[in-house]
Structure 1
Amino acid sequence: MSHEPAERWDGRAPGVETIATAYLAAAGGDAGLALRRAIADALADLGEAERRTRQRDRLISRGYVRAGPIGRGDWP
């Protein structure tokens, strides 16, 4: 299993240490509370991603049903 480095230097997103420090500071130094908040946020983000995936899949499915397969009627 591959893991992201603790800090990223490419500017795409904050690294693990930056995020952990922010959660710890927001929790007033309570590591347990910071961990629970980070997990709750991660689960909420995962749920939102799954919801969007289901919505996209429904839209794709509806579009296929409405349009029919590409090339329909081309077969002899």
Structure 2
Amino acid sequence: MKQLIETIVKPLVDNPDDVRVVMDEHDSRVTYKLSVNAEDMGKVIGKQGRVAKALRTIVYSAAGSHHGKKVYVDIID
């Protein structure tokens, strides 16, 4: 899933080397924390959060049930 997020985000940003995805897994949830260069934050979020929402939709769909755990994507400053 980390690879999927990186594959989607890297072409969107000006600094693809700064894209980092960290997985944080707990009992009932898996959180993917996405961090990008501060200059690229607007490109990842998009107007009215449309890009971020689309990214989350793709990840949620690809994750399926993910072994009974909820999957979240957080964009970190």
TM-score, normalised relative to structure 2 = 0.30
Q: Which has the higher strand share?
A: 2
Q: Which of these two proteins has the greater Rg computed from alpha carbons?
A: 1
User: Relative contact order (alpha carbons < 8 A, sep ≥ 6): 1 or 2 greater?
Assistant: 2
